C-alpha cells in the first residue's frame, strides 16, 4: 500500500500539480526574447542544437520551451529523476534516462538517434545538485557525440523569489518582466586533443557566467529595459 501511494505521488500528484502551478504563474509573465537569431539561424538551416542553462534559472523556460518541441532531455535514473521524467513527458518533451554514472552511453546513443529525427536537446549544465554554475561533462559529451552546437539560454527575471537551495533557485514573481536570451552558438570539435575537453568545459562555464551577468545588469539600466520592453 505504501509503495502504491508513493507511486501515485511521484507519477501523478506531484508532476500534475506542479505543472499546473508553473503554467498558472508563467501565464502572468511579460517575456521578451533577446538575440533570437542565435537560435533561429540554426533551425532555419535545418540543424539541431543543445539548449544550455543553469539549474537556478530554468523555471521560466518550463512553459516557454513547450513551443520548441520536439525536445529531448537527459534525466538521471534516480527516484527524483522519475518525477522529473514524468513532468517532462507530460509537457510533451522526451525524457532520456541516464547519467555519467549509470546508463550514460545508451542515453547518448538515444539522443543522437533522436536528433536525427528532428529533436532539439535541452540540458541543465550544473544539475541536479551542482556545483552551482559549473558546466559538467554531460553537456560537452552530448554536443560532441551528437555533433550539435551549444546555444546558451539565459533567463533573467526582474522580481524574484529566491529559495534556500544549493543554487539559490529563482522563480520570477507574478507579472514579472522576464528576459530569455539566446547566446552565440558554441561548436564542440570531435577531436579536442589532450586537455581540450576540460578547456571546453571552462570556456562554456565562463561564457554562461558572462552572459548571465550582462543580462541581469539590464534591470539596473532603464534605457535598456525600455528598449527591450517597448
Q: Calculate mean pLDDT across residues 155-179.
A: 97
pTM of the model: 0.92
DSSP string of the chain, one letter each residue: -HHHHHHHIIIIIHHHHHHHHHHHHHTT-EEEEE-THHHHHHHHTT---EEEE-GGG-TTHHHHGGGG-SEEEEE-SSHHHHHHHHHHHHHT-EEEE-BTTTBHHHHHHHHHHHHTTT-EEEEETTTTT-STTPPPHHHHHHHHHHT--EEEEEEEESSEEE-SSTT--EEEPTT-EEEEEEPPPB---S---TTHHHHHHHHHHHHHHHHHHHHHGGGG-HHHHHHHT-
pLDDT in tens, 108-129: 999 999 999 999 999 999 978 8
So where are the chain's domains? Answer: 2-228
The CATH code of the domain at 2-228 is: 3.40.1130
Predicted pLDDT at 17? 87
pLDDT in tens, 181-224: 999 999 999 998 889 999 999 999 999 999 999 999 999 999 99
Amino acid at each position: 500500500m505504501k509503495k502504491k501511494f508513493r507511486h501515485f505521488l511521484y507519477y501523478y500528484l506531484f508532476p500534475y500539480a506542479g505543472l499546473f502551478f508553473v503554467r498558472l504563474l508563467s501565464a502572468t509573465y511579460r517575456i521578451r526574447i533577446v538575440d533570437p537569431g542565435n537560435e533561429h539561424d540554426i533551425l532555419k538551416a535545418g540543424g539541431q542544437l543543445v539548449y544550455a542553462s543553469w539549474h537556478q534559472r530554468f523555471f521560466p523556460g518550463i512553459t516557454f520551451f513547450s513551443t520548441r518541441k520536439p525536445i529531448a532531455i537527459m534525466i538521471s535514473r534516480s527516484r527524483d529523476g522519475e518525477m522529473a521524467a514524468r513532468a517532462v513527458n507530460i509537457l510533451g518533451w522526451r525524457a532520456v534516462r541516464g547519467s555519467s554514472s549509470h546508463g550514460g552511453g545508451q542515453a547518448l546513443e538515444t539522443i543522437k538517434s533522436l536528433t536525427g529525427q528532428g529533436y532539439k536537446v535541452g540540458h541543465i549544465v550544473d544539475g541536479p545538485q551542482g556545483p552551482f554554475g559549473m558546466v559538467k561533462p554531460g553537456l560537452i559529451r552530448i554536443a560532441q557525440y551528437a555533433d550539435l552546437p551549444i546555444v546558451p539560454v539565459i533567463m533573467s527575471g526582474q522580481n524574484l523569489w529566491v529559495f534556500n537551495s544549493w543554487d539559490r533557485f529563482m522563480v520570477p514573481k507574478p507579472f514579472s518582466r522576464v528576459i530569455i536570451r539566446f547566446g552565440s552558438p558554441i561548436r564542440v570539435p570531435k577531436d579536442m586533443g589532450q586537455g581540450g575537453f576540460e578547456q571546453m568545459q571552462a570556456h562554456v562555464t565562463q561564457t554562461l557566467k558572462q552572459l548571465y551577468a550582462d543580462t541581469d545588469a539590464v534591470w539596473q539600466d532603464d534605457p535598456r529595459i525600455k528598449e527591450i520592453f517597448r
